[in-house]
Structures are given as C-alpha cells and as structure tokens.
Amino acid sequence: MSPTYDVIVIGLGGMGSAAAHHLSARGARVLGLEKFGPVHDRGSSHGGSRITRQSYFEDPAYVPLLLRAYELYEDLERATGREIATLCGGVMIGRPGTRAVSGSLRSAREWDLPHEMLDAAEVRRRFPTLTPAADEVGLYEAKAGLLRPENTVAAHLQLATGQGADLHFDEPMTGWEPYRDGVRVHTAKGTYTAGRLVICPGAWAPRLLADIGVDCVIERQVMYWFQPDGGIEPFRPERHPVYIWEDAAGVQVYGFPALDGPEGGAKVAFFRKGATPTSPETIDRTVHDDEVRAMAEQVSGLLPDLPGHFLKAATCMYTTTPDEHFVIAPHPAHPDSVTVACGFSGHGFKFVPVVGEILADLALTGATAHPIGLFDPARFAAGTV
C-alpha cells in the first residue's frame, strides 16, 4: 500500500508554513499538522514585526540565504497581495568594535553589500529620534527593514492550501516511527503515512527532537510597545529606521518604527539580555513592572523620546542552540526519511521563505544547492563546538 501523503510537515508556524507552501508548489501531496490554530501567538512567529537585514553580524555565511529570502518575500507579496516586507532602512549602532557594528561591516564588505558608515553626528542628523553617544558609529543599510510575521505565515498557509496541501489545525502530533519506506505519524485524531517527514517544532524542539544531539534552550523574551513623547510622527517608517544598538557592556536593544497608528506605538526589545530558561508549558506570559522599567531605562539612552508611555508587552520564545546557529538537516538517525529545522536562536524569522525552500529540497531530493553546512547538527559532536 502506498503512503497517503508524500510529505507530512509537523508545525505550521514560520518555517513549517513555508515548507508546506514550497512542497505543495512542487506537486507534493502534503499534510500539515499544527498543535494550535492558524497564525497563533503561542510560539515564536508573532508580535507584529521582525527585523530583516543583509549586513549580517552573526556570520557572513548567512548572506546568500538572506539574498534569496528577499527574492522570495517579494514573490510572496505578489502572489498573495499581503503586506510582508517594509524596507525602511536600518542602522546598527555602537562603538566601532561592538559585534553589531564590526560584524555587520564584515558581512557588508565580504559580500559587497551597499552600506554607509555614519558617525554619531550624521546618525543624529539623518534620524533625529536616535541620539548615539559621540564615540558611537552606525552602519546604515538602505535594504534593511521589517517583516510582518503573522502576514507571512498566513500567506504561506494561503498558498499551500490553494496548491492542495491538507492542513490540520488543533491536531498535535503524539508520535511517529519509521514505517516501510517512509514514516507513520500519530495524532489524537488519526494515523497518517508518508514517504517523508519534515519537523519544524519551534520551542517544542527539546521534546520532539531530543534524539538529534542538540541541546536547545528555550528562552523567555519580551517585546514592548511605547507611545513616544510628542507622538508617533517622527517614528513613522518614512522617517525612522529599524535599529540595533549595542552598548559598551554588550547589551543589545532592537526596535522598529511606529507601524499601526497612534494606538500601536513603537516596538522595542532586548536581544537575549536576561533570558530566562523556560518551556512552552511553563513560560510566564505575564510581563512585570520591573521588566517594563528596565526596558524604558535602557532604550532612553538611544531614543530619549520613545519610552513616553508604556502601551503593552508580549512574550515570545527563542529556541537557542549552544552556538546560536540554526539546525537544518536530515535527521541524523533517519536521513532518508526525516528532515529537521529548529534552533533558530532568536534571529531566524527573516529566513523563513528560504528555509521553506531548503526543507522542500531536502525532503524531495535529499540535497539542496543552498549553503547549509553551518547548520549541520553533527557540529555538536563531542569536542566540535
């Protein structure tokens, strides 16, 4: 008996929804299984905005994937009519030796990416909302900007459904095992067979992928929205860029323009500062007063008008690997039938469409032309990392 599906995709957040789209676009019979409803806020693909940028301080090896992701985001907007990317420009600010500045400059030079180096006075002149210290500089990238995560997931789900994918929501996987030449997947509602399995578990990786040899830590993170003193006009995307600011102590803050009118405010967050290990089941989703005060105090050093009035906050989760690089690869124990994508370590959403393309490559052909050697879980073998 042949399997019911060519590929089953577990998890339909950012990466899983993109995988379902790219697989079904190639004619594969796809089943997608999601623990929650469509475009939910219980994982990591929510919060209204994510930064996208090409001068990537994390590692220049990511740049080719970013360039492809930019192309795919344009395709996604054209195909669905949804607002996905706003390239309002972005500036990485700090002392010249900080990772945010020096790492961005390294990638920009290595890949010949358009960029400008600005001294503090020029940053202040161009972007009056930003007040870097005299010894700080900024790398400005016109092609940086922001992505709409909810719209992105919804767009991929829309296309996948239109291409014939069978998407089941509120139906979590309870287990799977090898079966004949493929896999068998169990849920509370049924059992399904497929030739291949793609697992995109997000913060559920420590439980669902405990056997791949990667020690992922789930971190509680908080996003904050403030109403700036003097109103939002200076903070609109036409005037205010996305930004990452790294202070002298190495603490990074990132933020966005005001996107959703006066009631929406401007969003800001720490990048990994004070991350609290947690799990999807135990995360504290209450944002406490001392957290709001700490955020307001930190961001006022660069944007003195921003923390005028606190509007709201929301939690999300990072699934972080020991080296903060991704895991995208065939399953080490089941390389011919299972592909995994996890550990996006708080900087993965900008790669969503190209990760979907890679997962489709791996599931259908066993290989990809994209450079993913950095993401092999074998790097965590004893003594490697």
Ligand-binding annotation for 168, yes or no, is no
26 is in an annotated binding site: yes
The 10s digit of each residue's pLDDT in 201-211 is 999 999 999 99
Instruction: Judge whether 25 is annotated as a binding position.
Output: yes
Q: Answer yes or no: is 76 a known binding residue.
A: no
Q: Is 18 annotated as a binding residue?
A: yes
**CA torsion, ordered 159, 164, 166, 169, to nearest 10 deg:** 20
Element (H, E) at 299: helix 289-299
What is the pLDDT, as a whole number, of residue 121? 98
How far is the C-alpha of 248 from the C-alpha of 302, rounded, in Å?
13
- Least confidently predicted of 77-81, 93-97, 178-182, 378-382: 378-382
Judge whether 51 and 244 are in contact, CB under 8 Å. Answer: yes
pLDDT in tens, 275-291: 779 999 999 999 999 99
Do the annotations mark residue 14 as ligand-binding?
A: yes
pLDDT value of residue 1: 43
- Is 19 annotated as contributing to ligand binding? yes
The residue type at 53: R
* Residue 36 annotated as lining a ligand binding site: yes
Ligand-binding site membership of 13 (annotated)? yes
Q: Is 6 annotated as a binding residue?
A: yes
Is 27 labelled as part of a ligand binding site? Answer: yes
Kindly report the pTM of this predicted structure: 0.96
367 is in an annotated binding site: no
pLDDT at 385 > cutoff 60: no
Determine if residue 12 is labeled as part of a ligand binding site.
yes
The beta strands (E) that lie in the chain are given as 5-10, 30-33, 50-52, 85-86, 90-94, 116-119, 137-141, 145-147, 166-168, 173-179, 182-187, 190-199, 217-227, 242-246, 252-258, 266-270, 276-277, 309-320, 327-331, 334-342
